[in-house]
Amino acid sequence: MEEIINCAAYSEGRRVINIELEKAGEILQQLNGFVWIGLYSPREETLQLVQKVFGLHELAIEDAHRAHQRPKVEIYGDSVFIVLRTAQINKGNSIEFGETHFFLGNNFIITIRHGSTISYADVRNRCEKTPHLLAKGQGFALYAVMDSIVDQYFPVVNILEEELDKVENKIFKEKPSRETTEYIYHLKHELLEVKRAVFPLVEICNRLMRFDFDYVAEDTRPYFRDIYDHAMRINEMVDNSLELLNTALDANFSLISISQSDVSKKFAGWAAIIAVPTMVAGIYGMNFTIMPELHWQYGYPVVLASTVVLCIVLYLLFRKSGWL
């Protein structure tokens, strides 16, 4: 895939010209607006060119190249470096995480995607259709992309909640099993990954809503409150799901324990029933010569019948008590 997805200059909220990355600095000197550059998994040479053109800090460029960063916002001289984690459901119905890095300056915004296959072209198109909003500057472009990233978490969390419903059905409507326990741990791991990705967004939005940055216009800051509210909602949904998973895990363990106890009761019941003929056989296996019933005509059938009756009585008693 091409690493430079889009590179355009904007003035008064409208795209003025598509530019080459090497000439972005020259265009900015002639233009009263900002440049919006979109990159996808750029090579180190491309990032070094970006650093040279926009005067970015080398530590931020190093982070942008390595990826696998925690969500954060940092100020490096005249620019701001923001890292967000993205999430999407792939064709295998599993969660695929990625990263998006932002460089924000006085007259530019650079977005760098790592891992995520969802393009921000639609976001850019929507912004270009509302030039009165895009005229607010690169801060609004930042909001638009961040809002798109956060909105992608809702279908992810919804699918995890549907999987949680399936787990509850497995626990209470099917036989408890080790596979169910493993699946609960799998869901819990994915929810924790979503939690790690979304939770830092709350602090990032707080900083962007405050007056820490000159590159986000004052009338743009309230838009980040919308992202803040969405992030809080997702956090609450994840927390609720995690609590339900913990409860489901406890319930699964309890049902497995009860199932094992029932098996132990059955073993104990059958052992007691089998003990009766075993005891009788043990008595008559001692080879004593003086045993009155040995010389009685009905001794043998009476002993066998008594043994069978006792076994039946014990079986009925255990059955009535729920052990069998």
pLDDT digit string, tens, across residues 13-66: 899 888 888 888 777 777 788 889 999 888 888 888 888 888 888 888 888 887
The pLDDT of residue 69? 78
The pLDDT of residue 33? 84
Q: Using alpha carbons, list the distances in angstroms from residue 6 to 18, 19, 110, 152, 257.
A: 8, 9, 10, 22, 59
d(CA 170, CA 161): 14
pLDDT digit string, tens, across residues 126-172: 999 999 999 888 989 999 999 999 999 998 888 888 888 888 777 77
The pLDDT of residue 169? 78
Mean pLDDT computed over 246-274? 71
Alpha helices in 74-177 (DSSP H): 121-128, 131-134, 138-151, 153-173
Q: Largest Cα–Cα distance of the chain, in whole Å?
A: 125
Q: What are phi and psi of 96, to 5 degrees?
A: -120, 120
d(CA 35, CA 82): 17
> What is the DSSP track for 47-62?
HHHHHHHHT--HHHHH
Please, which residues bridge with residue 110 across strands? 37, 103
Encoding tokens for residue 258?
């009860």
Mean pLDDT computed over 299-316? 74
Q: Using alpha carbons, list the distances in angstroms from residue 70 to 87, 141, 197, 266, 294.
A: 14, 22, 8, 54, 87
> What is the DSSP track for 9-45?
EEETTEEEEE--GGGHHHHHHH-SSEEEEEEES--HH
pLDDT digit string, tens, across residues 220-229: 888 888 999 9
Which residues have CB under 8 Å from 304's CB, separation 6+? none
Residue 290 and residue 256 in contact, taking contact as beta carbons nearer than 8 Å? no
Can you list the domains of the chain with their CATH numbers? 1-133 (3.30.460.20), 259-321 (1.20.58.340)
The pLDDT of residue 301? 74
The pLDDT of residue 146? 92
The pLDDT of residue 190? 87
Mean model confidence pLDDT for the chain = 82
Reduced to 3 states (helix: H, G, I; strand: E, B; else coil), residue 256 is helix
pLDDT digit string, tens, across residues 79-98: 889 999 998 887 767 788 88
